[in-house]
Structure 1
């Protein structure tokens, strides 16, 4: 993994540098082309000036015989042009010394009164400064290429080590966690994305430790709750067989109560399994939750009467995309939780806000401790002694499956408010 990571960084840096250098070569080529175009135009202007000056000088005497050679030399120096002047009979007028004509490849005719009076062969002086500029720029860019490659190699090694080290540590930690080892320490100190990822990873480990502790304790409690009625039932049955106690109505009633406890526990576990299965295949449809909510409130009236509770409703029509059965389960769990938390004679409020697309259930009961508030939606976490610790976890699972938001506000001995925000309605 590390070698691949280094290679990716190297290739990325090399690609960026290559683009930069290619841009440099392109700009260099473009500038040289523009300079050459400029010089070409300047040379053409010089040629026309030279031809014009020589034709004007010929017009004075109508011959090249007495033309001033020093003037021609000065003209040559001034225009930066080397030339050979010949008359109409191909006799060399200038320069006097013998010249290699093979170097003079550009030839122009000279005219006077529309009659050719001679020719001029031209050779331009080399632009030494331009040649030096081109040569130096090429050397600089080639040197920059080699330096860039060296710098890229050094940077790729340095950056890959710096970046891959915390990633390697996080990967190692993730493997340890996947193997069930939560006693690991991730020590990454940085303020970048990797640092934030490390912080979240450590928070996850911390929460996993707490959840594992909660799970162990509550599984033990659940086992105890199952074992207790079983022990009572077994003890009573053995006592009946031994003739220690009578098999009368009182004994049977006591045994039935213990069976009811077992039935509630097994029903809770079955409900949890059924919910998990249902969440995998949501039966979404347009549901007016006002009707479902009022129907469920009516169904739980006997539970309300047991504690002399009153439900105040402020329910508006609201149609959402939902699994009808799972919405009913969510609402039932929240109302059951509110009933358990409420004191004798309390009120429970239910509100459906069609504008905000929210369901709000508020009780004025015992409230939730600050230390418990972050764990109430976790499985096996029990807020009430007579619960199984799965009711609110089911609420959370249903909300997540529907892409709904769930929020809880609570104060000890002041009550609790659950808010479900329907995002897909």
Structure 2
């Protein structure tokens, strides 16, 4: 009874039942009224004889019909068109009233969804439809609409953060370039090789941001080109650790490595981007003198790569925002840690492009964060 079709069938059944009930009630009521009127106009002897026939259950006897034919001509005729029309009108009114009430009950949640959809289209992303006791197809419709509205609201928030992030990250190098170039044009800044190197670094920074944005866009659209081949995930991870060992030494932290991963089918360059971003993030948050644990292992049909630091971890309310493009925690901003906020977002998209995922959690034994990359192992 939860589907719309079942409810409409039930509504049709109720209409038929009401029509039949009204017709039967009217018929027997009219017959009873006909009998009473006829008996009222009959002579006492005939009335007594008719009552005796009814008492003995002889309504189908010839004598009973003879008395009806003789004395019932002046009473109501239940076979005339007016009586039938009255029954039809009564049935339509009663059935129509019930049908309208039931139809309103069936259509009310659908109307609520339509009104909410119009509100969302008008710009109100926070509107939701109360489900109440509604179930079946309409309940599924309400659940789907509420999920859609929540996704749209989340998308709008991410788009706002993304736009603000792009503006902020591009403004700084562009401002530097504009100011220094104006100084060179006005003769206030010497056009030296050192100045050219300084400007080139800003251009390269802009190029990295643009390239990361391009990769994110392609990954979101499912159009990211991957040069997939079977490779040992430990080899890729070990090279990334080696490349960043100098940065770790400069930050006065060290790597604790353990490699036991398997073979994956992926793009070595893109996997390197994932690991480099996670390792760079760990170096940035690790306190002086601490160790960053880098490990790989297999678990069923997956390769598990973990990067564990001993920093401050992240706030529980920030767990859903860690991988948003350009999002940076308040602690990072207060501490003045460098970064564009694209590293984790890019790492997540690249992991998903390989059929895997990245899971972030806080350490349970002490302060610090754990970033776990899960990648499907290559098929034999």
TM-score, with length taken from structure 1: 0.54
Residue 185, structure 1, aligned to residue 127, structure 2: yes
1:315-334 matches, cutoff 5 A? 315-334=259-278
RMSD: 4.1
CA shift digits 1:227-254 (9 cap, x unpaired): 2322332223223332334334554454
Alignment of 1:312 with 2:256, yes or no, is yes
1:169 to 112, 115, 125: 112
Please say if residues 405 and 423 of structure 1, whose CA atoms lie closer than 8 Å, have aligned partners that are also in contact: no
The equivalent residue for 2:285 is: 341
Q: Which residue of 2 aligns with 1:209?
A: 153
What is the CA–CA distance in structure 1 between the aligned matches of 2:307 and 2:205, rounded to whole Å?
Answer: 28
**Cα distance in structure 2, aligned partners of 1:156 and 1:280:** 56
Pick the aligned partner of 2:345 from 368, 371, 393: 393
In the alignment, the residues of structure 2 paired with residue 159 and residue 393 of structure 1 have an alpha-carbon distance, to the nearest angstrom, of 51
1:189 and 1:217 mapped to 2: Cα distance?
31
Q: Tell whether the 8 Å contact from 2:311 to 2:368 is kept in structure 1 after alignment.
A: yes
Preserved CA contact (<8 Å) 2:119 2:127: no
CA distance in 2, matches of 1:405, 1:183: 29
Q: Map of 1:235-384 to 2, 5 A cutoff?
A: 235-248=179-192, 251-273=195-217, 275-276=219-220, 284-355=228-299, 357=302, 358-383=304-329, 384=332
Contact preservation (8 Å) 1:369, 1:411: no
> Offset at 1:422?
3.9
**Pairwise CA distance, 1:200:** 7.3
Q: 1:320 to 1:12 in 2, by over 3 A?
A: farther
The separation in 2 between residues aligned to 1:192 and 1:286, in whole angstroms, is 51
Distance 2:325 2:279 in 1: 18
Q: CA deviation at 1:153?
A: 11
Sort the Cα spacing of 1:406 and 1:155 in 2 relative to 1 into closer, same or farther, 3 A.
farther
CA shift in 2, pair 1:234/1:282, >3 Å: closer
Instruction: Describe the superposition over 1:324-365 as per-residue Cα deviations: whole angstroms up to 9, x where unpaired.
Output: 443333222222222222233331112222245422221112
Structure 1 contact 321–424 (Cα < 8 Å) conserved = yes
Q: Gaps spanning 5+ residues in structure 2: where?
A: 14-94
Is the CA contact 2:165–2:327 (under 8 Å) kept in the aligned structure 1? no
* Highest RCO, 1 vs 2 (Cα 8 Å, sep ≥ 6): 2
1:359-393, Cα deviation, whole Å (9 max, x unpaired): 22211123212232111122232345532322222
CA distance in 1, matches of 2:10, 2:353: 40
Check 1:6–1:217 CA distance in 2 against 1; reply closer, same or farther (3 A cut): closer
How far does residue 290 in structure 1 lie from its aligned partner after superposition?
A: 2.0
Preserved contact between residue 283 and residue 323 of structure 1 (Cα < 8 Å):
yes
Greater CA deviation, 404-413 or 191-200? 191-200
How far apart are residue 282 of structure 1 and its match? 5.2
* Residue of structure 1 in register with 2:367 after alignment: 414
In 2, Cα distance between equivalents of 1:289 and 1:279: 23
**Is the contact between residue 377 and residue 393 of structure 1 (CA under 8 Å) also seen in structure 2?**
yes
2:143 and 2:261 map into 1 onto residues whose CA distance is: 44
Tell me by how many angstroms 1:299 deviates: 2.6
TM-superposed deviation, 1:13 = 9.2
- Greater percentage in strand: 1
Q: Name the SS of the counterpart of 2:315 in structure 1.
A: coil
Flag the 1:285–1:208 CA change in 2: closer, same or farther, 3 A.
same
Taking the aligned partners of 1:154 and 1:423, their CA distance within structure 2 comes to: 62
Distance 1:265 1:406, change over 3 A: closer
Question: What TM-score do you get using the length of structure 2 for normalisation?
Answer: 0.60
Is the CA contact (8 Å cut-off) linking 2:161 and 2:327 kept in structure 1?
Answer: no
Call closer, same or farther: CA 1:374–1:273 in 2, change over 3 Å.
closer
> For 1:373 and 1:176, how far apart are their aligned partners in 2?
30
Query: Aligned with 1:373: secondary structure?
Result: helix
String of CA shifts for 1:265-291, please: whole Å, max 9, x gaps: 223323334545775555554432122
CA contact (8 A) 2:230 2:264 kept: yes
Larger radius of gyration: 1
| Distance of aligned partners of 1:247 and 1:346 in 2 relative to their CA distance in 1, 3 Å threshold | same
Distance across 1 between alignment mates of 2:107 and 2:339: 48
